[in-house]
Structure 1
Amino acid sequence: MEATISGTWSMGRRIGITSATLAAVAVVASAGTSPALATQDCFDREKKPYTSVVDSHLHFRPFGGQAISFDELTGYLRKSGVRHASMYGIGQTLPVNSDCTYYLDCPGTPVVPSMKNDFVNAGNYMEAKPKDPGLTLSMTFMDLNHPETVPPGISLYDKEFPGMFRWAGEVNLVKQALFPNRHEPATSENIRNWAPFMKVLRDRGMPITIHADIGSDREPTKYLHLMEETLRRYPRNEIVWAHMGLSKELSAMDPDQHIRIVQRLLDKYPRLTLDLSWRVLEDQYFSKPGVRQKYAAFFDRYPTRAIPGTDFVAAGNKDYQVYEEELEVTSRINKALGDEAFRGIALGANYFRLLGMKETAPQVCRAG
């Protein structure tokens, strides 16, 4: 190390660099980091893609049937420029004897929580040990209607895959799309009984992504009280609200009303983070005239409180073009964001901070 710095000093004298610059190089060298990384260019939004470099909501396993292979899916991420992803399974799976790959195609068929997808994900991860993209394993088995089963499940994961799972969810508090498949919303009593496993997650600093529909077009806020009760009981947990509570069943809520609801909860609960995954947000809300600007202005006011994602489900009948489209569609909101929110969301700063990662997002170049 001394020889390296000494050589840098000699070169510095020859080319006349300042002592301040030399000191910065020395600090970088002593930290074991390449000086080139310390002086790398800022992110130029005019020249570089607006698509998110993080996919915080990616289902590596389908509800049923064959999955896209692990190697193929991670290849999709590299090809599309995604460098970090949360590796969700599908906690709610179709029966093994079902011919369905998607629950909506099979009304009446029960879709119930299971550990099998998480175990497959963990096995694939252990075998591949990927460095690029960086992946975060998530526990998706949790049955919020039967919380007594969750702590033993976490203990099993700890035994089989110690220290590997760093996220929880997507888990369903209330998901109306699953009602035909015998899903029922968790009750207030259920939520109260989450306390043991929520303490485990809190002690580990582990985020949990919760799918909690706000309501339907007929009753826009019918289920909002369930998410509010969750936040009230567990304000110190890192809770990620999947899709900001929106869904296909709630396609026409007044955007101003929705923003007011979400803003009130963000103000009241500092550990709440919004999940911007699923193209439904773009298709049903952001793409409407005048609406994108409202949400972009909202995210600019809360630039540290949202993370991006595709909600892509890796069923074997999909290919790279499908993933590429999902990433592009869910990233369109990024174009309307100010630089701080763009860095936090599209460039991953909020995701890195939520996970306590050492990774840093580049600064956005100043215009002009």
Structure 2
Amino acid sequence: MNRLGRKSVISGTAWVAATIVLWPSAGSAAADERCFDRETQPYTSVVDGHLHFRPFGGEAVPFKETVGYLKKSGVRHASVFGIGQKLPVDSSCTYYLDCPGTSVLPSLKNDVVNAENVVEFKPKDVDLALSMTFPDLADPKSVPDGMRMLDKEFPGMFQWMGEVNLIKQAILPNRHEPADIGDIRGWAPFMKRLRERGMPLTIHSDLGNNQRPTQYLHLMREVLKRYPDNKIVWAHMGLSKELTTMAPDRHIQIMKQLLDKYPNLTLDLSWRVLEDVYFSKPGVREKYADFFDAYPERAIPGTDFVASRDKNYEVYKKELEVTSRINKALGDKAFRNIALGQNYFDLLGIKETAPPICKA
């Protein structure tokens, strides 16, 4: 099939029922007989590998309501991220950018709330991967104790760690302390535990900014060099609102070099900034599609939706659609692995198989 210019007969989220019909249980005979028809089925991803069930501050969308967003939009698997950095309880803010100077500090609270919600509501029809988001990467000695506490209270429930911040420029005004090379060396104890458990680690690490596009690249290089056997997921491919003018060719080349050198690195395609600032530019979408087609097993999708109470299903639906637009340009193998979730399943060791793409 020609991947460019592909049009879906069914768009948005009106296709949920059709999607469920076309996705038999893993291991069933029907799984080998049915396929995903890209000409009639939607391009929106059926996994959300980067979803924040908790906000930075203020009231959250109720857990059951957020799960309902997934069901309505056809998302069948999602990671349950909290927000590792909380605004103070006496703050009126729900978003850190609205409160420069207010501390946004690491906390276990959101991870506990998420775990309690999973226990209480036991969602059906949507598979959720609970994630530890509390770690302060600039204080690595505190991480093993936090892991032990969560494991004691919720044995066997946590499957992921992250999103955690190595360097996030947007919260520097909120007293965020980036990790340095010495801190990264100190990660060894908890990284060992993650390896033993096969848990992915999603790291937010900005590449740089418009003035110095690769200012912080050395930090991620150090992580990958020191912990090559850990499953590392690089959130947003290192891009951000602070880095909007980087030449796509240069960005892609850096990504290729790291993927070639570190087989356990996975790219996270979440956050609409990627679509709005990079993928949607004339001639750029094709470059990134060619890149993902060349590395079809090395990326997972996500919305980066943050479930604060000022949002609703329409906001989630739009975030899913926007972050999924790159899927339309992908070849069949990359589409199956990314949009239909095979890379996500493999990353978590989920015994499920994405359907094959129907042949023309």
Alignment partner of 1:241 out of 211, 215, 234: 234
TM-score, length basis structure 2: 0.92
Q: Which residue number in structure 2 is paired with residue 313 of structure 1?
A: 306
> What secondary structure sits across from 1:331 in the alignment?
helix
Aligned identity (percent) is: 71
Q: Which residue number in structure 1 is paired with residue 19 of structure 2?
A: none
Deviation at 1:85, TM superposition (A): 0.1
Alpha-carbon deviations, 1:150-196, whole Å to 9, x = none?
A: 00111101100000000000000000000110112211000000000
Task: Kindly report which structure 2 residues correspond to 1:349-364, keeping only aligned pairs within 5 A, or say none.
Answer: 349-364=342-357
Alpha-carbon deviations, 1:75-120, whole Å to 9, x = none?
A: 1000000000000000011001100000000000000110000000
Q: Distance in 2 between matches of 1:307 and 1:33?
A: 23
Aligned amino acid, residue 252 of structure 1: T
Aligned amino acid, residue 148 of structure 1: K
Aligned amino acid, residue 238 of structure 2: G
Alignment partner of 1:230 out of 220, 223, 226: 223
> What secondary structure sits across from 1:46 in the alignment?
coil
Q: Which residue number in structure 2 is paired with residue 11 of structure 1?
A: none
- Judge conservation of contact 2:26–2:353 (CA < 8 Å) in 1: no
Alignment partner of 1:199 out of 192, 197, 212: 192
- Judge conservation of contact 2:26–2:351 (CA < 8 Å) in 1: no
Structure 2: give runs of 5+ residues left out of the alignment: 1-24
Q: Which residue number in structure 1 is paired with residue 176 of structure 2?
A: 183
> What secondary structure sits across from 1:209 in the alignment?
strand
Q: Which residue number in structure 1 is paired with residue 285 of structure 2?
A: 292
> What secondary structure sits across from 1:138 in the alignment?
strand
* Larger RCO (CA within 8 A; separation ≥ 6): 2
Q: Does 1:269 align with 2:259?
A: no
> Using a 3 Å threshold, how does the CA distance of structure 1 residues 262 and 32 change in structure 2: closer, same or farther?
closer
Deviation at 1:131, TM superposition (A): 2.6
> Using a 3 Å threshold, how does the CA distance of structure 1 residues 344 and 150 change in structure 2: closer, same or farther?
same
Kindly name which structure, 1 or 2, has the bigger radius of gyration based on alpha carbons.
1
Task: Kindly report which structure 2 residues correspond to 1:1-368, keeping only aligned pairs within 5 A, or say none.
Answer: 35=29, 37-367=30-360
Q: Distance in 1 between matches of 2:229 and 2:278?
A: 30
Q: Distance in 2 between matches of 1:58 and 1:223?
A: 25
Q: Distance in 1 between matches of 2:73 and 2:212?
A: 39
Q: Distance in 1 between matches of 2:253 and 2:174?
A: 32
Q: Distance in 2 between matches of 1:33 and 1:302?
A: 26
Q: Distance in 1 between matches of 2:47 and 2:236?
A: 16
Q: Distance in 1 between matches of 2:165 and 2:183?
A: 12
TM-score, length basis structure 1: 0.90
Q: Distance in 2 between matches of 1:32 and 1:234?
A: 33
Q: Distance in 1 between matches of 2:325 and 2:197?
A: 33
Larger fraction in helix: 1
> Using a 3 Å threshold, how does the CA distance of structure 1 residues 108 and 205 change in structure 2: closer, same or farther?
same
> What secondary structure sits across from 1:197 in the alignment?
helix
- Judge conservation of contact 2:26–2:352 (CA < 8 Å) in 1: no
Aligned amino acid, residue 208 of structure 1: L
Q: Distance in 2 between matches of 1:210 and 1:40?
A: 38
Deviation at 1:39, TM superposition (A): 4.9
- Judge conservation of contact 2:31–2:355 (CA < 8 Å) in 1: no
> Using a 3 Å threshold, how does the CA distance of structure 1 residues 348 and 32 change in structure 2: closer, same or farther?
closer
Alpha-carbon deviations, 1:321-361, whole Å to 9, x = none?
A: 00000000000000000000000000000000000010110
Single out whichever of 350-359 and 125-134 deviates more from structure 2: 125-134
